[in-house]
Amino acid sequence: MGERCFSTTERHNQANIGQEEDFEAAKKKAVDLGAKKVFIEDLRSEFVEDFIWPAVQANAVYEDRYLLGTAVARPCIGRRQVEIARKEGAQFVSHGATGKGNDQIRFELTCYALYPEVKIIAPWRIPEFYNRFQGRKDLMEYAQKRGIPVPVTPQAPWSMDANLMHISYESGILENPKSHGPADLYLMTKNPEDAPNTPDVLEIEFTNGVPVKVTNIKEGQSKDSPLEIFSYLNEIGGKHGVGRIDIVENRSIGMKSRGIYETPGGTILFKAHLDIETFTMDKEVRRIKQALSIKFSEFIYNGFWYSPECDFVRHCITKSQENVQGRVQLSVFKGQVYILGRESPKSLYNEELVSMDVQGDYDPCDASGFIRINAVRLREHHRLQSLADNKQ
Amino acid sequence: MGERCFSTTERHNQANIGQEEDFEAAKKKAVDLGAKKVFIEDLRSEFVEDFIWPAVQANAVYEDRYLLGTAVARPCIGRRQVEIARKEGAQFVSHGATGKGNDQIRFELTCYALYPEVKIIAPWRIPEFYNRFQGRKDLMEYAQKRGIPVPVTPQAPWSMDANLMHISYESGILENPKSHGPADLYLMTKNPEDAPNTPDVLEIEFTNGVPVKVTNIKEGQSKDSPLEIFSYLNEIGGKHGVGRIDIVENRSIGMKSRGIYETPGGTILFKAHLDIETFTMDKEVRRIKQALSIKFSEFIYNGFWYSPECDFVRHCITKSQENVQGRVQLSVFKGQVYILGRESPKSLYNEELVSMDVQGDYDPCDASGFIRINAVRLREHHRLQSLADNKQ
Amino acid sequence: MGERCFSTTERHNQANIGQEEDFEAAKKKAVDLGAKKVFIEDLRSEFVEDFIWPAVQANAVYEDRYLLGTAVARPCIGRRQVEIARKEGAQFVSHGATGKGNDQIRFELTCYALYPEVKIIAPWRIPEFYNRFQGRKDLMEYAQKRGIPVPVTPQAPWSMDANLMHISYESGILENPKSHGPADLYLMTKNPEDAPNTPDVLEIEFTNGVPVKVTNIKEGQSKDSPLEIFSYLNEIGGKHGVGRIDIVENRSIGMKSRGIYETPGGTILFKAHLDIETFTMDKEVRRIKQALSIKFSEFIYNGFWYSPECDFVRHCITKSQENVQGRVQLSVFKGQVYILGRESPKSLYNEELVSMDVQGDYDPCDASGFIRINAVRLREHHRLQSLADNKQ
Amino acid sequence: MGERCFSTTERHNQANIGQEEDFEAAKKKAVDLGAKKVFIEDLRSEFVEDFIWPAVQANAVYEDRYLLGTAVARPCIGRRQVEIARKEGAQFVSHGATGKGNDQIRFELTCYALYPEVKIIAPWRIPEFYNRFQGRKDLMEYAQKRGIPVPVTPQAPWSMDANLMHISYESGILENPKSHGPADLYLMTKNPEDAPNTPDVLEIEFTNGVPVKVTNIKEGQSKDSPLEIFSYLNEIGGKHGVGRIDIVENRSIGMKSRGIYETPGGTILFKAHLDIETFTMDKEVRRIKQALSIKFSEFIYNGFWYSPECDFVRHCITKSQENVQGRVQLSVFKGQVYILGRESPKSLYNEELVSMDVQGDYDPCDASGFIRINAVRLREHHRLQSLADNKQ
């Protein structure tokens, strides 16, 4: 229920960040439940440009695997919620995230950062509420009894969170980390076994580390606005079953949880960006940027998108992307993304310099000195060890 | 020609680290070329246990993509070469690595670290040699003229380096980073398009972060010695086309180069280990270990396996693996590895604690305090910014 | 009041970690206040060996300046408190740390880590308590009214925390970060202006990165047990006014606070250890250890001494100290510590190698190659920039 | 001889970066030795603004102690040398740095980075030269025989390098790391024992992390241009014996060397900047900036001032300094710098928030939740350990 945020029951606001949802029904439901004002906001474009793009530039990935599809959506929703709350003069905001999860933190830190005086109502942390509703099951029963439609029916014994970037599945039967995710879980991607037997080949063009155009080489089709590019990558990735992972991750509050995610377009972009970045970025800048990206990913995961440290790191990462420009060709097939080739006017790749067949402006003798100087320290270390060994 | 090392033409030694090669022919060739003594050493088991296993424990990966298949083999070969050189009283060792590549560094730093007084002959850095043989082409012609058989024939316009862990392909037509790798390049893995239409499901059991058993769930087959485990994972990975990458990487000496790699078993292990590690390792230990692993990977790539810093980091990483124990189930299909589930007697995963349906020993109210304390700093920052904005 | 911890009013325990205090009076006071059992524990030796020594090995320093004198004492006290609580069957422990500070966190995380089921009573976070006593002033008045002797009298308008390692001063008139600390603040160190006009010269001997002996060169006096060594360094440091700092630091809970500290012995040891460590530790190991030490210091500051990550990092740091052995000579004078010289059987310093007057086993020509290889990347970068400049 | 660089004997250029030197005599000497053109350039202002100031912003310090006084001067000199070489159409540049030291690297990487086609002549790495002059002694004799005046006379058995920021002393009798530096070594700072018995009290004002004004509180004197500020801090620091260190450090080429440095003004600024920075910079930004600064310091030390990575990190550090503004008061006395207080319009310090006597907008109860959430992970860890212990 993460993406639904209430600023008291008086006013209800809900973000369209690309999830499949009947927003008219949502509006009606809110009104039926007593909301005096309902805001349904289409945040899809700003979600892509202001949140997904920076994550792409960073190669943001949490604990080596999770592309942060839920985590980047939270500050996007929270930002708008706060804007509306301020405009409407609301002193309270509310959300439906649980008391054990990450989303409560992401929403609330966003709110506190952008609207420090705000008061937050989190029903799942109010004893009167959570004692009455012990887990999702009680809530489902209550909702059914009162005629409130809810997305998680007893037939789907897990919860999910969907947006333009990904769908996450967790809890319920997925809480047993050993049990395999059921085949009918996935809504965004085809089962790779059922995916087409021929790949799609895409060319993605980057400027400043963000995609500016995607072209389907065979079909000739291309997209060049952020939302269209990302949606198209989702379409192609979904069709080929790209971006499914089943992981155990460490939550902000220190417990391990199991989640299954599908991130079709994000996975394609992650791989493509990694390629064009390494192609165009200086080796040592890359090392520093890699460390900054790990921090950036942790900040996002932990809800600190709107924080001085995240601002700072985002600024640094943006700076690092100035030359990340060029085109990557890749094929998408049966759950995999294969980089095929790349080109760039800004590349530091020098075919002549690296060639085995051309000497170029490079003297191999220099390498001897380079190696021997690097060995000075190693040889000294060996000398000391030998002394120590001889003494024993 | 990387894995062939000569300690003067007098004595020739060659390592079997799992590459497909006719070692008898290699021996004969060495004798024909004048070697008085020839050592063909089977290093496969020690390669797996002493070099690949630590890389698995570390999740070693260079620049986010390369699993270091060539880089971990070099110190293994160099160590044995130095042992033989010392035993034979050889003051010189030699190798055939080029003057622009990484392998010269990896071999030589290993030699200098373990045998500091040694002298190294690197023909590709001797002007008389490399001026006569301008690139691999001249050399091929010379070899053909003199009747010396060489692995890279003019029909395969690239060079390759093979061992138990991977095959790398580079130079020649691959030097153009835009051109796609030809379909007939790969020797270790099937084209995913031609791979079986049904997955294999494996269970890999880990102790101390290294695999101790692999079982093919459907077929019931299992392996439990390091070399057998790794070879079997290569077989399964190869059959399903797992582990192909096409990358541009930054060499030690600072130039960018394009390489295509296939690492079937290593890729399966990388994913499985990542999963069991995150399942069993404390969150914050993991963060520190992740940073150490990046360093470890750089040390390996840059030839510093035998160095004080690599010893130190390896020690720390080994320590971190004490509880990395358990079983991971995964499926291998059409070039992909899918984690299906995991279990461990040492897991820090607490199903009751994380459950949405059970309160357990966790008070949701605590999260309110946690979030508000984390917001103290963010709100202060906002206050300062507002002051600044008001002044402007 | 940090170092006083109560496990309910039934049982009172208090740690002697080296602060100047009348423990008999403290005992009497506790009994007078109704405690049925009183534990006054001399933890000085274990404080030095189990807590200060690891901090010395790490060169532990928070935010580049604070030597963590209070922070390392907290887990020492907490550990004993929990031992007593467990032995006595107490289910509750209590402490007098305030609700805005770091110490509450350090105490409580220690308790929770070592005794997870424990319940903690922190009066300063109980509204009935803190609303009645708005700040320390009310408390002083209450204590005076009830005849409870307290260390902070209205005449000293700040609070202090003392132990063997340091004294910290904060709050009260020190809360204005611009106001200078009063001259009569310091209890452990002489004003440098009043310190002796001749230095003391010490030789400190280290093994495994911890001091095993200190000798006053001129006076011939020496100490060789941990507690005696540290106490003697406090004496000499205090006599010469060493270790005073006035800083603003970032608390765990995210607010900035101003503290004045004096750490005489710790400051001498910090400088001496840094010297012997750099003398004996490999350059690259040192870089990694430096990063680990920064983390270690943050863990200590934030109360995570007893945590998996702190255990892990401590293990790694201990490992790094295996060769940190030797003797450092230094002089202590007017607030400063001057390193004079050092020697070690384990040093990696090679006088012949580094000498400007001896060639040794070093070929200067190698440096040319080393530099030119390092320049490959820089020259490529310049080439790219020139291309870009020409296009504009 | 580090700061003297020759672009062939035809043209001689020499930088005035603040060292005490008779530049007229130097000019005459160059002409006498056959130089057709002599450039004596006053680089003092750009040295302060373009090189020292960024080091101050970064709190740049190598291996925890060395303030990089020589290292920051090299790119300053090299930059001008290359400018002149380009202007004069010189294809060769030359320098007098030795083949075992850091300065050769710093000069040459600067030259290669800014003038990639340049050829470098380093006599100390030419066998004909260094075999004839085995160390500095032979050179001294040669110079004396030929009537070439040299700064290091046999009476001063060590070498030194001086500039506006510091003087370094090394080699000769200092090569024995145990021997104490002689009392008459220091030229820039008074012996603290002979320094005044009353402190000077300074107020340093910062904007964007660089000093814009220094005021002597008692004397009322103030300076406000970069060169004047830095020179005045040198004067005050020198008068009070501030900034002397005796260290063993790790050179770029991997050997340990002993150096004695005096950096009076730089030491004062280092301490003052550290104070105002921590006062005004967000805690988490500070942590990231601290790590970047360590890298920046290594880049400077190793000669990579002009490199993509140093440009990148410098950009990030500059960004971090936007709010580093305010005034620090400090006293300088007998070799020490004592911070007394600080104030800033941009401070994140909130006296009311932190006060022990004011509740403010802070609820102590929140801390309970904060601590308990942080303890979740620690308690889980304990649970796992207990399970393991019970099994054994």
Q: Do C254 and B295 touch (CB under 8 A)?
A: no
State residue D131's pLDDT score: 85
Quote the pLDDT of residue C165.
97
The token pair that represents A360 in the structure block? 């170029």
DSSP codes joined into one string, B218-263:
TT--EE-SHHHHHHHHHHHHHHTT--EEEEEEE-TTS-EEEEEEE-
Mapping DSSP to helix (H, G, I), strand (E, B) and coil, where does residue D330 land?
A: strand
Inter-chain touch B282–C320, beta carbons under 8 Å: no
pLDDT digit string, tens, across residues A84-103 = 999 999 999 999 898 999 99
pLDDT of residue B351: 84
Helix locations, chain A, DSSP H: 23-32, 44-46, 53-58, 69-88, 103-114, 127-132, 136-146, 226-239, 264-280, 283-301, 308-320, 351-354, 364-391
Tokens for D30, please give them.
């160059």
- List chain A residues with CB under 8 Å of C376: 353, 362
Mapping DSSP to helix (H, G, I), strand (E, B) and coil, where does residue D348 land?
Answer: coil
> How does pLDDT run across D143-175, given as a tens digit for each residue?
888 888 776 555 678 989 999 999 999 999 999
Contact assignment for A384 to C346 by CB distance below 8 Å: yes
- Hey, are the CB atoms on D177 and C351 less than 8 Å from each other? yes
Distance CA C38, CA C105 (A): 24
Contacts of D389 (CB under 8 A, 6+ apart): none
Provide the sign of the torsion angle of the four alpha carbons B18, B20, B23, B29, taken in this order.
negative
Chains that touch D (3 or more CB pairs under 8 A): A, B, C
Residue C250, min C-alpha distance to chain B (Å): 10
First to last CA, chain C: 67
What is the residue-averaged pLDDT of chain A? 91
Judge: B279–A248 Cβ closer than 8 Å, yes or no. yes
**Which of B3-17, C95-109, C147-161 shows the lowest per-residue confidence on average (mean pLDDT)?**
B3-17
Interface test with B, best of A198, A371, A380 (most B CBs within 10 A): A371
Q: Which residues of A touch B294 (CB under 8 A)?
A: 290-291
Chain A residue with the nearest C-alpha to that of C383:
A348
Touching check for C113 and chain D: CB below 8 Å? Answer: yes
Query: What's the rounded Cα separation, in Å, for the pair D254 and C285?
Result: 12
Which structure tokens are listed for C198? 């001749």
Res A1: pLDDT: 31
Give C28's pLDDT tier (boundaries 50, 70, 90).
confident
- Whether the pLDDT of residue D323 is over 60: the answer is yes
Mean pLDDT of D23-37: 86
Lowest pLDDT segment from A120-134, A305-319, B112-126, D111-125 = A120-134
**Three-state SS at A5:** strand
Q: What is the rounded end-to-end Cα distance, in angstroms, of chain D? A: 67
Among candidates B249, B304, B351 on the partner chain, residue whose Cβ is nearest the Cβ of A278: B249
CB-neighbour burial class of residue A337 (10 A; exposed 0-12, middle 13-18, buried 19+): buried
Query: Which residue has tokens 């000496």?
Result: B253
Among D288, D319, D378, select the one facing A295 at the smallest CB separation: D288
pLDDT tens for each residue of B138-162 = 878 888 888 887 765 556 789 899 9
The answer to which of A175-179, A226-230, B292-296, D17-21 has the lowest mean pLDDT is D17-21
Chain C CB contacts of B287 under 8 Å are 309
Whole-number mean pLDDT of chain B?
Answer: 91
- Over range D56-84, report the average pLDDT: 97
Q: What is the pLDDT of residues A12-61, one digit of tens each?
A: 778 899 888 888 888 888 888 888 899 999 999 999 999 999 999 999 99
Instruction: Give the residue among C194, C189, C197, C182 at the shortest CA–CA distance from C167.
Output: C189
Task: Examine the pLDDT at B6 and tell me if it is beyond 80.
Answer: no
pLDDT score for C114: 96
| Nearest chain B CA: its distance from D365 CA (Å) | 7
Rounded distance between C-alpha atoms, residue B160 and residue B179, angstroms:
17
A351 interaction partners in chain B (CB closer than 8 Å)? 175-177
CB A381 within 8 A of CB C282: yes
Residues of A in contact with B154 (CB under 8 A): none
- Which residues of chain C does A368 touch, with a Cβ-Cβ cutoff of 8 Å? 366, 369
Element (H, E) at A13: strand A11-16
Contact A254 D380 (CB under 8 A): yes
CB atoms within 10 A of CB A149: 13
CB D81 within 8 A of CB D5: yes
The verdict on a CB contact (< 8 Å) between A373 and C369 is yes
Taking contacts as CB-CB distances below 8 angstroms, the residues of chain D near A289 are 312
Instruction: Please judge whether B288 and C254 are an interchain contact, meaning their C-beta atoms are less than 8 angstroms apart.
Output: no
**Cα D111 to chain center, whole Å?**
20
- Placement of tokens 């530091």 in the chain: A348
Q: Do B284 and C308 touch (CB under 8 A)?
A: yes
Pick among A278, A362, A380 to test the C interface (most C CBs inside 10 A): A380
pLDDT of residue A239: 98
CA-based nearest residue to C243, from C148, C332, C305: C332
d(C-alpha A161, C-alpha A159), whole Å: 7
Cβ–Cβ pairs < 8 A, chains A and B: 314
Of B104, B116, B349, the CB nearest to A379: B116
Q: Decide if D369 and B367 are in contact by the 8 Å CB cutoff.
A: yes
Q: pLDDT at residue D89 above 60?
A: yes
Contacts of C254 in chain B (CB under 8 A): 373-374, 376-378, 380
- D303, D110 Cβ separation under 8 angstroms: yes
pLDDT at C5 over 50: no
Please give the single-letter amino acid code of residue B23.
Answer: F
CA dihedral D80, D81, D82, D88 (to 10 degrees): 110
Give the mean model confidence (pLDDT) for residues C372-382.
93
The subunits that touch chain A, with at least 3 C-beta pairs less than 8 Å apart, are B, C, D
**Interface list for A 36-95 with B (CB within 8 A):** 59, 63-65
**D368/B373 CB distance under 8 A:** no
| D376 at interface of A, judged by CB pairs closer than 8 A | yes
Chain B partners of A135 at a C-beta cutoff of 8 Å? Answer: 355-358
Interface test with C, best of D109, D372, D378 (most C CBs within 10 A): D378
**Whole-number Å distance between alpha carbons of C80 and C61:** 25
Residue contact D384–B284, C-beta within 8 A: no
CA separation for the pair C83, C93 (Å, rounded):
11
Please give the DSSP secondary-structure letter assigned to residue A173.
Answer: G
Question: Is some CB atom of chain D closer than 8 A to the CB atom of B367?
Answer: yes
Which residues, 6+ apart, have CB-to-CB distance to A183 below 8 Å?
A191
Per CB-CB distance under 8 Å, the chain A contacts of D291 are 291
- pLDDT of res. C111: 96
Q: What is the pLDDT of residues A122-181, one digit of tens each?
A: 998 998 988 888 766 787 888 888 888 776 555 678 989 999 999 999 999 999 999 999
For residues B187-196, one letter each, b for 16 or more C-beta atoms within 10 angstroms of the residue's C-beta and e for the rest, the string is ebbbebeebe
- Nearest partner of C363 among B206, B263, B119, judged by Cα: B119
Size of interface C-D (CB pairs under 8 A): 314
| Chain D contacts in chain A segment 303-322 (CB below 8 A) | 304, 307-309, 312-313, 315-316, 319-320
Chain A residues near residue D320 by CB distance under 8 angstroms:
312
Q: What is the mean pLDDT of residues D90-107?
A: 93
Cα separation, B272 vs B278, whole angstroms = 10
The pLDDT of A306-320, averaged and rounded, is: 98
For chain A, what percent of residues have pLDDT higher than 70?
94
Confirm or reject contact between A127 and chain B (CB < 8 A). Answer: yes
Amino acid at D387: L
Report pLDDT digits (tens) over D342-381.
999 999 898 888 887 666 678 989 999 999 999 999 998 9
In this prediction, residue C148 has a pLDDT band, given cuts at 50, 70 and 90, of: confident
Q: Which residue type does B88 have? A: E
CA distance D12 to chain C (A): 22
From C307's Cα to the closest Cα of chain A, the distance in A is: 12
How far apart are the CA of D349 and the nearest CA of chain C, in angstroms? 5
In eight-state DSSP terms, residue B169 is: E
Question: Which residue is associated with the tokens 């760039």?
Answer: A344
Contact, A140 vs A151, CB < 8 A? no
**Cβ-nearest to B64 among A159, A177, A274:** A274
Give the predicted TM-score (pTM) of the model.
Answer: 0.95
D364 touches chain C (CB under 8 A): yes
- Mean pLDDT rounded to a whole number for chain D: 91
For the residues A222-228, what does the mean pLDDT come to?
A: 98
Please write the tens of the pLDDT for every residue from C77-125: 999 999 999 999 999 999 989 899 999 999 999 999 999 999 999 998 9
Residue B126's contacts (CB-CB under 8 Å, 6 or more residues apart) are none
SS (H, E, C) chain C: CCCEEEECCCEEEEEECCCCCCHHHHHHHHHHCCCCEEEEEECHHHHHHHHHHHHHHHCCCECCCECCHHHHHHHHHHHHHHHHHHHHCCCEEEECCCCCCCHHHHHHHHHHHHCCCCEEECHHHCHHHHHHCCCHHHHHHHHHHHCCCCCCCCCCCCEEEECCCCEEEECHHHHCCCCCCCCCCCCCCCCHHHCCCCCEEEEEEEECCEEEEEEECCCCCEECCHHHHHHHHHHHHHHCCCCEEEEEEECCCCCEEEEEEECHHHHHHHHHHHHHHHHHCCHHHHHHHHHHHHHHHHHHHCCCCCCHHHHHHHHHHHHHCCCCCEEEEEEEECCEEEEEEEECCCCCCCHHHHCCCCCCCCCHHHHHHHHHHHHHHHHHHHHHHHHHHHHC
- Whether the CB of D255 is below 8 Å from some CB of chain A: the reply is yes
Q: Is D338 helix (H, G, I), strand (E, B) or coil?
A: strand
Interchain proximity C376–B255, CB inside 8 Å: yes
Between CA C68 and CA C74 the distance in angstroms is 10
